[in-house]
């Protein structure tokens, strides 16, 4: 339905913008916006029109301004920025500043179109510098130049060197069905940036007249790390550009599509995605806390308070003119979190614990237990701690959770829990069980869950696995599930947030 | 709408940047670009970002360079129409009615129709910020500060003003803007704003500046600071921001710190000075402890907690 409206309006827009941007631009934008929607960004029709209007006012040569113009009209949440940036880089990587740079230096524009042409072009400033052609450089010379460029922080040279490095080391061939990460890995391995960092640090130490203090050393290291990070970005961009030239925009956009932070799967998050998740959880918990606090304050519509109404009616001569209501005082639930922290579900447990403790003022009491095959109470780790992330980290490293071999044994863990803490569960307690219920074919001891449910107010099970995997292999989630008030799939922050919201 | 009549305030993105720089607001490419676009497209800007990164200051600076009056609406929970848009001056209306009754003892009693049109006229209207911005003759910049503090329902009050630059008052009809004000909304992102509001705005996220820009900001805003000290300050702040903190130091805290160092007569920051004054940058004890630990170490692996956090078991 959206699609139809979109087409109709873009026809109108064609007549309006064609004079300035030209039809190809419009087509490009259309594809660009479609890809943004595919990536999960909610781009509405009006925003689409705004973008078309906006690019009219921005000189196309200015790639940065162009990017911000599109971002300001299309992306309305900072969390979506990364996804936007990726799509933008793919769609507009073949135009803009970098290309102008190569144009100035020689015939760089041909560079991506045909492998092998214009080989030396990007290195010409360096060639002038050192009197040697780009290709004639030996790997040692290249490394030496890179080292010097990093030392001086010369961005233009770094960019040129990044290109040269990709050309030389990535071994890219047209049509080869390999992902960009493979090329990145190959390039970086050859450059050996870790040793480079050590060398840079040594050099700095040697140059300094007085020995560096730890703080100074720290600052220098951060500076070099930032430069190396910049170099990596240049290399990545170069690889991406070549891939786009090889395979076409749409195919690349699809392979590079990144999930939004709230959609990242806990169990299969890469390192970078983990970082994105950790960054996303702070604002999320804050938002959730504000929302819950508001919920509590508002919506006070209790039943009529008869006594109070009659008493106030005295001042109106016995006419109950001013009805009084009872304020409901919803009891704050008590929460027991029992989390499996083995292997791949660890990340999930970590985020759930983080979230629960971040809103712990919504509960009268929070107690947490973690297990693998043994079980341990970790409530103390969170006591009076400001930094939840650190407490969660301590839980993962210090809690005593291994009983025999460190393979999940839900049955044993639950049994021990029941013996030691079972009596603490009361009618106000909600129990959250976190895990994938992959029990390594041990006894399930599901009677414990049944007993807990008799005493507790609610028992919920959160499973980070997709629903279709439940009860396959050694997963026995339904064996526990029949004793719970609800079993929920909780694969990403979005689902987790929804559950916690409903819980309070 | 009356858009076409308004002359553009800026010539180009570079123009925005240069003029902002003159009033000591160092805009990066994104900020300048969005301000320029907002002027051309006549759209409000929704500015979001961590506290203390110069969101409110941006509106003030733009007001300054365009020679416009700044009208500010501070949002809070419980803000309503009578505080944001307009209110009838009841007391004055009441006096007017009474004056009519007692004044000429029946002789000059105006009939009700006349009176009612009379008491619902401009004279009895109290303008609040939104209406004031719409009715202003001279150029104005409207700043709606911390819009995330109002309830979702109250947001709807803003929509008419933001999209059409009009205000509807039942007794008077629809008032159109005499000029298109520049509108800035700021948000600290404590809750998700409604789609309707976001759709009407250009979105600008102001993050912590990169090191070079922060150094320039320190140089521009702190008198007597030396280049070397500003450089050091910016570097240390960058390193601190890389830690996982509860609250990373904001630009205004960086500036406070730089000013403190100047007052203390510090020429170069060493560990001791950093440790003694870090409480100006960081406001949580756990953050301070973390930073102090990092100051002592040289940053070599593996004591960066975020580097091995992902690889437990």
pLDDT band at B183 (very low <50, low <70, confident <90, very high): very high
ipTM of the complex: 0.78
pLDDT band at B313 (very low <50, low <70, confident <90, very high): very low
User: Given this model, what pLDDT does residue A296 score?
Assistant: 63
Q: Is B302 on the interface with A (CB under 8 A)?
A: no
Interval A362-402: pLDDT, tens:
778 888 888 888 888 888 888 777 677 777 777 777 777 77
User: Given this model, what pLDDT does residue A477 score?
Assistant: 85
One DSSP character per residue, A4-22 reads HHHHHHHHHHHHHHHHHHH
Question: Within 13 Å and on the Cβ side, how many CA atoms surround A48?
Answer: 28
Per-residue pLDDT at B32 exceeds 60: yes
Chain A residue with CA closest to B197: the answer is A76
- Verify whether the Cβ–Cβ distance A218 to B294 is below 8 Å: yes
User: Given this model, what pLDDT does residue A240 score?
Assistant: 78
pLDDT band at B6 (very low <50, low <70, confident <90, very high): low
Please report residues of B whose CB lies closer than 8 A to that of A71.
30, 203
Q: Is B51 on the interface with A (CB under 8 A)?
A: no
Q: Is A293 on the interface with B (CB under 8 A)?
A: no
- Verify whether the Cβ–Cβ distance A64 to B195 is below 8 Å: no
Per-residue pLDDT at B53 exceeds 70: yes
Please report residues of A whose CB lies closer than 8 A to that of B211.
226
As a whole number of angstroms, the distance between CA A215 and CA A455 comes to 56
Nearest to A139 by CA among A187, A172, A201: A187
Interface of A with B in 160-219 (CB under 8 A): 213-215, 217-219
Q: What is the mean pLDDT of residues B105-126?
A: 72
Per-residue pLDDT at B99 exceeds 90: no
Partner residue facing A222 (CB), from B201, B239, B309: B239
- Angle (deg, nearest 10), helices B227-242 and B271-281: 70
Please report residues of B whose CB lies closer than 8 A to that of A72.
30, 33-34, 37, 45, 202-204
Please report residues of B whose CB lies closer than 8 A to that of A389.
244
Nearest to A356 by CA among A236, A497, A467: A497
Chain B residue with CA closest to A44: the answer is B199
Residues 6+ apart with CB under 8 A from A25: A17, A55, A60
Place of tokens 């804050």: A286
Sequential pLDDT tens for chain A (504 residues): 334 333 433 333 333 333 344 667 777 788 888 888 888 888 888 888 888 888 888 877 777 788 888 888 888 888 788 888 888 888 876 654 444 334 333 333 333 333 333 333 444 444 444 433 455 567 777 778 887 877 777 777 777 887 777 777 777 776 666 667 777 777 887 777 778 788 888 887 787 777 777 777 778 888 888 888 888 888 888 887 777 777 777 777 777 777 777 777 777 777 777 777 777 777 777 777 777 766 666 555 678 888 888 888 888 888 888 888 887 666 677 888 888 888 768 788 888 888 777 777 777 888 888 888 888 888 888 877 767 777 777 777 777 777 777 788 888 889 899 998 888 888 888 888 888 888 888 888 888 888 888 888 888 888 888 888 888 888 888 888 888 888 888 888 888 888 877 776
Average pLDDT, rounded, for chain B: 83
Partner residue facing A346 (CB), from B295, B297, B312: B312
Interface of A with B in 30-59 (CB under 8 A): 42, 44, 46-47, 50, 53-54, 57-58
Q: Is B239 on the interface with A (CB under 8 A)?
A: yes
- Angle (deg, nearest 10), helices A139-152 and A180-191: 90
């Amino acid at each position: 339905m959206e699609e139809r409206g979109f087409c109709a309006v873009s026809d109108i827009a064609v007549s309006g913008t064609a004079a300035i941007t030209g039809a190809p631009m419009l087509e490009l934008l259309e594809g660009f916006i479609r890809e943004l929607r595919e990536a999960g960004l909610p781009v509405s029709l009006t925003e689409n029109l705004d973008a078309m209007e906006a690019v009219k006012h921005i000189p196309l040569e200015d790639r940065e301004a162009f990017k911000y113009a599109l971002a300001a009209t299309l992306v309305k949440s900072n969390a979506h920025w990364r996804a936007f940036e990726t799509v933008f880089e793919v769609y507009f990587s073949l135009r803009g500043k970098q290309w102008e740079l190569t144009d100035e230096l020689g015939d760089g524009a041909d560079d991506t179109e045909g492998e092998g042409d214009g080989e030396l072009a990007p290195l010409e400033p360096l060639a002038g510098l050192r009197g040697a052609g780009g290709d004639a450089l030996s790997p040692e010379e290249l490394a030496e130049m890179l080292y010097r460029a990093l030392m001086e922080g010369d961005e233009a040279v770094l960019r040129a060197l990044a290109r040269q490095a990709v050309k030389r080391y990535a071994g890219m061939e047209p049509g080869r069905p390999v992902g960009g990460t493979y090329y990145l890995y190959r390039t970086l391995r050859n450059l050996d940036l870790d040793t480079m960092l050590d060398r840079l640090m040594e050099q700095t130490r040697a140059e300094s007249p007085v020995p560096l203090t730890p703080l100074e050393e720290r600052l220098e290291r951060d500076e070099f790390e930032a430069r190396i990070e910049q170099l990596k970005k240049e290399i990545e961009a170069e690889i991406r550009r070549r891939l786009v030239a090889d395979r076409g925009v749409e195919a690349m956009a699809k392979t590079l599509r990144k999930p939004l932070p709230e959609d990242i799967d806990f169990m299969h998050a890469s390192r970078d995605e983990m970082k994105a998740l950790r960054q996303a959880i702070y604002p999320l918990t804050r938002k959730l806390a504000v929302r819950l606090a508001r919920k509590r304050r508002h919506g006070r519509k209790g039943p009529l308070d008869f006594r109070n109404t009659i008493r106030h009616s005295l001042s109106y001569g016995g006419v109950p003119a001013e009805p009084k209501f009872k304020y409901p005082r919803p009891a704050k639930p008590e929460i027991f979190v029992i989390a499996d922290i083995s292997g791949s579900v660890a990340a999930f447990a970590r985020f759930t614990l983080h979230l629960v403790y971040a809103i712990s003022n919504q509960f009268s009491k929070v107690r947490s237990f973690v297990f693998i095959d043994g079980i341990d109470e970790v409530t103390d780790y969170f006591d009076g701690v400001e930094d939840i992330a650190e407490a969660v980290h301590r839980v993962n490293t210090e809690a005593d959770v291994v009983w025999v071999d460190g393979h999940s044994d839900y049955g044993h863990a639950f049994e021990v829990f029941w013996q030691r803490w079972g009596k603490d569960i009361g009618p106000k307690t909600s129990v959250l069980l976190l895990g994938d219920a992959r029990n390594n074919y041990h006894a399930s001891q599901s009677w414990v869950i049944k007993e807990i449910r008799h005493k507790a107010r609610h028992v919920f099970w959160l499973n980070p696995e997709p629903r279709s995997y439940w009860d396959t292999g050694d997963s026995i989630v339904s064996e526990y599930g029949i004793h719970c008030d609800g079993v929920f799939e909780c694969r990403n922050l979005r689902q987790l947030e929804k559950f916690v919201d409903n819980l309070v | 709408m009356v858009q076409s009549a308004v002359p553009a305030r800026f010539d180009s993105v570079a123009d925005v940047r240069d003029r902002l720089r003159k009033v000591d607001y160092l805009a990066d490419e994104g900020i300048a670009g969005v301000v320029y676009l907002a002027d051309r497209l006549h759209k409000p800007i929704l500015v979001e970002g961590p506290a203390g990164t110069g969101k409110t200051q941006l509106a003030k600076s733009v007001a300054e360079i365009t020679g416009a009056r700044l009208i500010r609406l501070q949002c809070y929970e419980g803000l309503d129409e009578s505080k944001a848009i307009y209110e009838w001056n009841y007391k004055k209306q009441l006096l007017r009615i009474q004056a009519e009754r007692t004044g000429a003892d029946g002789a000059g009693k105006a009939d009700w129709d006349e009176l009612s049109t009379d008491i619902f006229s401009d004279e009895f209207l109290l303008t609040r910020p939104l209406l004031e911005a719409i009715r202003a003759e001279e150029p104005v910049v409207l700043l709606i500060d911390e819009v995330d503090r109002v309830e979702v329902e109250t947001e709807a009050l803003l929509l008419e003003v933001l999209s059409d630059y009009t205000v509807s008052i039942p007794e008077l009809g629809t008032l159109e803007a005499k000029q298109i004000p520049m509108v800035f909304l700021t948000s600290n992102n404590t809750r998700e704003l409604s789609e309707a509001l976001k759709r009407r705005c250009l979105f600008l996220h102001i993050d912590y500046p990169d090191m070079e820009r922060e150094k320039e900001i320190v140089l521009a805003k702190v008198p007597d600071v030396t280049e070397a000290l500003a450089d050091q300050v910016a570097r240390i702040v960058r390193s601190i921001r890389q830690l996982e903190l509860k609250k990373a130091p904001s630009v205004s805290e960086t500036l406070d710190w730089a000013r403190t160092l100047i007052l203390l007569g510090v020429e170069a920051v060493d560990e001791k000075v950093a440790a003694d004054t870090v409480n100006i940058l960081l406001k949580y004890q756990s953050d301070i402890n973390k930073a102090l630990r990092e100051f002592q170490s040289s940053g070599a692996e593996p004591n960066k907690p975020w580097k091995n956090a992902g690889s437990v078991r």
